Amino acid sequence: QESTPAAASHPLALAPVAAPPASVDGFVREFLRNLNFERGVALSSSAPNDRYMALAYTVRDYLMARWLEDQARQRELQAKGVCYLSAEYLLGRQLDNNLLAARLTEVATEAMVACGIDIDELRQQEVEPGLGNGGLGRLAACFIDSLATMSVPSIGYGIRYEYGIFRQTFVDGQQVEQPDAWLTLGSPWEFPHPEAAQKIFFGGHTEKTTDEQGVETTTWVPGWHVLAVPYNYMVPGYHNGRVNTLRLWRAVASNAFDLRIFNSGDYEEAVRAQTFAENISKVLYPEDSTPQGKELRLQQQYFFVAASIADFLDHQLSADFDLENLPERVIFQLNDTHPVIAVPEFMRVLVDERGMEWDAAWAITQKCFAYTCHTLLPEALEVWPVDLLGRLLPRHLEIIYRINEEFLLEVRERFGDDELRIRNMSIISENPRSVRMAYLATVAGAKVNGVAELHSQLLREKVLPDFDEFYPGKFTNVTNGVTPRRFVRLANPGLAGLITEALGAGWTVDLERLRGLEAFAEDPEFRVKFAEVKRANKRILSDVLRERDGFVLNEDHLLDVMVKRLHEYKRQMLKLLHIVTEYEGIVSGRVEASSVQPRTFIFGAKAAPGYAMAKRIIHLINAVGSVVNDDPRVEGRLKVLFPPNYNVTLAERVIPAADLSEQISLAGKEASGTGNMKFALNGALTIGTDDGANVEIRELVGDDNFFLFGMTEPEVEALWAKGYKPAEFYQADSGLRRAIDLIASGAFSDGDRSVFEPVVSNLLYDDRFMVLADYSSYIAEQAKVDAAYGDQDAWTRASILNVARTGFFSSDRSIRDYIDRIWHTPPIL
């Protein structure tokens, strides 16, 4: 607990911190003070990075009083709050978001003008913290924004990776990864607190001792440790004067190096331990949905959850807090299986360190944790080999065994000696013996939720049916959402202005108000203005892509966008077959070029570095792009653009400009999707399968305003059951045959048929994600898209209705659902 120093008798020391005056002059003065005193440079000799840093410090200064106040208030109130545990936070740039939250955008812009500075140039200086892979990490970032905006007592815990998601480049059309050195110039948004470091132990062995009363206690004798140093980030709420905290941990060696070895001249050996320790928070694992079971990854997971639990107990709880009351004070939300090792860690702390009885500790644990599952892919459910876990965390393995033993006893009591069921439900799986982290989370969690209605249903019915039967009422759904502050207000100021003009302010924190736009969809004048905004957004994107990648974007084209991680289940391949079909149609002369609706296809996608098929597909997209873009026969009709290194910053420019949103995963594979929500909210129409949150989007916007195609999940199941033979679909559809044959012929690889042969044979003989089965229906639906785009006014109307009817997808609504169904943490006033 923070104590007031005895000497703090000066009135200034006792007064609360004050924000600088919210005037242009006040801002200029604070900015120059920061430039001079924090950066040590004069305005006249400052570099753009100095000016960006000083601007960021100035924004911080305005938020500081509220931040300090909120930290004090959360400690004082001891109200129930959320600890959001997530290995990823894909934050995006902070400057604009924080200016907006603090109502400083105008003042700061004018202040920069007064200093002769172009604030846009400073915006470009910020390297976005890419501390996440994709949907899961970006969801965590949206959630902490909503938690702050809704004044929910909460703290986000995670890892301060020194290198975030890799920077993608293309060399001859193939992905090459570069390290994301986002910290090279320093981040102005973080506050390191080395004095609050936690010691985190690993390895070693356990010892059992029995006292006179015969009570057995276990002690963990660890083999090594590292320091976890917290870095705090401000999470300002939107226009509510609240500032929450995101606390990210960095691994630091407790001894810089061994001086004895250093003096003996073996410099490498002397720093070895340091390098080893600091590797823990060095780099984000770039696997999205398909984790590799690497020891370092388990070290990362344990490192951050152990630090977070200790931090919560040491620093967030009042000194006299009775641990029995923890369930009324905190809920730890597990963002997928990555933080699930927190469960045995929490038990270890309560039982071994705080001396609580096992049963009492377990009862508390089962109330203090809840688990969100983000996937249906079996390969994405993390398992840890018992020998690895036992070597790294021997005490935790014992705890997991005991949890499992007692759990399976309960199962036997309920269902008898049904050995098959017991084997299926065991937290430990055999051959190879490993710990099923999703099962551990399900057993420990007060609630388990999926991230869209369909996903939650399939989770109960297909992935964890025995658990659903065993724990009635444990499973629930919370459909994902996205923050309207970043993804409408900031990303699409044109649309935001139009909405405010039509509906007044207030929609940014009450997104269901967008319903009011339905009436405006019938107003021809409004439609004209709405279409103008879309066009202006295309112009902005065009400038960005020219500057960034040297691309030329035709603003008259239908802009057809597929941006998301590259994964076979998401089916970028299906999109590509559509493009090749269109191209082949024109160059073969079967289709008159002038009859084709001009389209530009934009892709954005990173592939996990070890995912060979995904990388081949990236190569193929680029190869098709370069042939199509260079062929005069399709000039002005088809264009394929694949800007490298898709990230949050680029998403904020691409999404508001899009006409068509591609959400074409195989039904039953995409848990939710959140890009799909961002597009709809920005007025793109969706072409999509009956999958994830697409289902809910279509229900809300209506069949007439959504392009549905493809098999449903039960149809997919039926086709598998019957025996899926992709080659039959190839034989049956001449368009499909021509497209695949063209790729196989080497038309996109200078005649070399071997380059894309693995992609082609994968489609013809394996096709796990049934691309060929959905091809005809996709092509037919795309023809409807072309026809619909022909009537611009009708398209605009549908586009407005998409905006009007998707207010449900605000992450504020998701957080409200979490509060009602899982957390029971009312906002504080």
Q: Is 158 in the site for ligand AZC (CB under 6 A)?
A: no
Q: Is 210 a catalytic residue?
A: no
SS3 content of the chain, % helix, strand, coil (to 5): 55, 15, 30
74, 289, 434, 825: residue in contact with ligand AZC (rule CB under 6 A)? 289
Closest CB 380 distance from ligand AZC, rounded Å: 5
Taking the C-alpha atoms of residue 65 and residue 72, their distance in angstroms, rounded to an integer, is: 11
Q: Is the dihedral of CA 274, 280, 286, 292 positive or negative?
A: positive
Dihedral angle of Cα 454, 457, 459, 465, to the nearest 10 degrees: -160
Query: What's the min distance (Å) between Cβ of 634 and ligand AZC?
Result: 34
380 binds ligand AZC (CB under 6 A): yes
- Tell me how far apart the alpha carbons of residues 192 and 190 are, in angstroms, rounded to a whole number: 6
Smallest distance, Å, CB 692 to ligand AZC? 5
Instruction: Please tell me the distance from the alpha carbon of residue 422 to that of residue 407, in angstroms, as a whole number.
Output: 10
Site string for ligand AZC, 402-441 (x = CB under 6 A): ----------------------------------------
d(CA 618, CA 614): 6
Is 674 an annotated catalytic residue? yes
Cα angle for residues 627, 631, 635 (degrees, 5° grid): 125
Kind and range of the H or E element at 401? helix 394-415
205 pairs with which residues across the strands?
221
User: Under the criterion CB under 6 A, does residue 735 sit at the interface with ligand AZC?
Assistant: no
Q: Is residue 63 near ligand AZC by the rule CB under 6 A?
A: no
CB nearer to ligand AZC: pick between 134 and 484: 134
Q: Which is nearer to ligand AZC, 141 or 617 (CB)?
A: 141
Residue 478 carries which side chain, given as an amino acid letter? V
Pairing of strands 216-221, 205-210: antiparallel
Q: Is 578 a catalytic residue?
A: no
Considering only residues 780 to 799 of the shown chain, the ones binding ligand AZC according to CB under 6 A are: none
Which pair of structure tokens corresponds to residue 365?
A: 């644990």
Figure out which of the listed residues 98, 316, 404, 480 binds ligand AZC, where binding follows CB under 6 A: 480
Which of the following is catalytic: 247, 297, 447, 565?
Answer: 565
Closer to ligand AZC by Cβ: residue 469 or 699: 699
Q: Are strands 243-252 and 154-159 parallel, antiparallel or unpaired?
A: parallel
Task: Output the six-digit token pair for 485.
Answer: 């502050």
Rounded distance, CA 164 to CA 184, Å? 12
Give the shortest CB-411-to-ligand AZC separation in angstroms: 27
From the list 66, 138, 338, 374, the catalytic residue is 374
For residues 821 and 799, give the distance between their C-alpha atoms in angstroms, rounded to a whole number.
33
Residue 462 CA to residue 593 CA, distance in Å, equals 47
Ranked by CB distance to ligand AZC, the top (closest) residue is: 135
**Annotated catalytic residue within 570, 599, 637, 813:** 570
288 binds ligand AZC (CB under 6 A): yes
Q: Does 450 bind ligand AZC (CB under 6 A)?
A: no
Nearer to ligand AZC, 481 or 735 (CB): 481
Stretch that binds ligand AZC, among 90-98, 134-142, 214-222, 359-367 (CB under 6 A): 134-142
Q: What is the CA 112 to chain-centroid distance, rounded?
A: 33
- Taking the complex as a whole, the smallest distance from the CB of residue 569 to ligand AZC amounts, in Å, to 9
Residue 250 among the catalytic residues: no
* Residue 230 vs 710, nearer CB to ligand AZC: 710
**3-class SS of residue 521:** coil
130 C-beta neighbours (distance < 10 Å), count: 26
Q: Does 98 bind ligand AZC (CB under 6 A)?
A: no
Q: Is 316 in the site for ligand AZC (CB under 6 A)?
A: no
Question: Quick one: 131 or 533, whose CB is closer to ligand AZC?
Answer: 131
Q: Smallest Cα–Cα separation from 205: which of 434, 400, 396?
A: 396
Residues 550 and 545: their CA atoms lie apart, in Å, by 6
* DSSP collapsed to 3 states, 39-61: CCCCHHHCCHHHHHHHHHHHHHH
565 is catalytic: yes
Candidate residues 56, 59, 91, 139; the one interacting with ligand AZC per rule CB under 6 A = 139
Whose Cβ is closer to ligand AZC: residue 243's or residue 463's?
463
* Structural contact between residues 299 and 251, judged by C-beta atoms closer than 8 angstroms: no
- Shortest distance (Å) from residue 694 CB to ligand AZC: 10
> Which of these segments, 132-140, 355-363, 425-433, 458-466, binds ligand AZC (CB under 6 A)?
132-140
| Residue 615 falls in the annotated catalytic set | no
By CB under 6 A, the residues from 604 to 623 that bind ligand AZC are none
CB of 698 to ligand AZC, least distance (A): 16
Output the smallest distance, CB 336 to ligand AZC, in A.
5
Closer CB to ligand AZC, residue 255 or residue 292? Answer: 292
Supply the angle between the helices 771-790 and 734-744 in degrees, to the nearest 10: 110
Residue 10 tokens read as 């000066």
Among 129, 130, 135, 188, binds ligand AZC (CB under 6 A): 135
- The owner of tokens 């007592």 is 153
Nearer to ligand AZC, 71 or 337 (CB): 337
Report if residue 301 touches ligand AZC, rule: CB under 6 A. Answer: no
The pattern of x and - marking residues 345 through 374 that bind ligand AZC according to CB under 6 A reads -----------------------------x
Residue from 58, 674, 686, 825 carrying the catalytic annotation? 674
**Pick from 134, 131, 287, 338: which is nearest to 614 by CA?**
287
Considering only 81, 129, 134, 286, the residue that binds ligand AZC (CB under 6 A) is 134
Binding mask 672-711 for ligand AZC (x = CB under 6 A): xxx-----------------x-------------------
Contact, 514 vs 507, CB < 8 A? yes
Number of residues that bind ligand AZC (CB under 6 A): 18
- Cβ closest to ligand AZC, residue 288 vs residue 774: 288
451 binds ligand AZC (CB under 6 A): yes
Contacts of 59 (CB under 8 A, 6+ apart): 95, 98, 99, 102, 104, 108
Which candidate, 33, 52, 31, places its Cα nearest to that of 94?
A: 52
In this chain, which stretch among 56-64, 93-101, 129-137, 400-408 interacts with ligand AZC, using CB under 6 A?
A: 129-137
Pairing of strands 383-385, 434-436: antiparallel
Q: Which of 396, 564, 616, 639 is catalytic?
A: 564
CA pair distance 114, 765, nearest whole angstrom = 66
Which of residues 508 and 676 has its CB atom nearest to ligand AZC in the complex?
676
Write down the residue that tokens 């974007």 correspond to.
553
Cβ-Cβ contacts under 8 Å for 530 (sequence gap 6 or more)? 495, 498, 683, 796, 799, 800
| CA atoms of 102 and 713, how far apart (whole Å) | 45
Asked whether 688 and 454 are in contact (CB, 8 A), the reply is no
State the residue for tokens 């007025």: 683
Q: Which residue is catalytic, options 678, 698, 797, 805? A: 678
136 near ligand AZC, rule: CB under 6 A: yes
Q: Closest CB to ligand AZC among 50 and 670? A: 670
* Of 716, 737, 738, nearest in space to 728 by CA: 737
Residue closer to ligand AZC by CB (options 80, 138) is 138
**What x-and-dash track marks residues 639-678 binding ligand AZC by CB under 6 A?**
-------------------------------xxxxx----
Contacting positions for ligand AZC (CB under 6 A): 134-136, 139, 288-289, 336, 374-375, 380, 451, 480, 670-674, 692
**Catalytic residue IDs:** 374, 564-565, 570, 674, 678
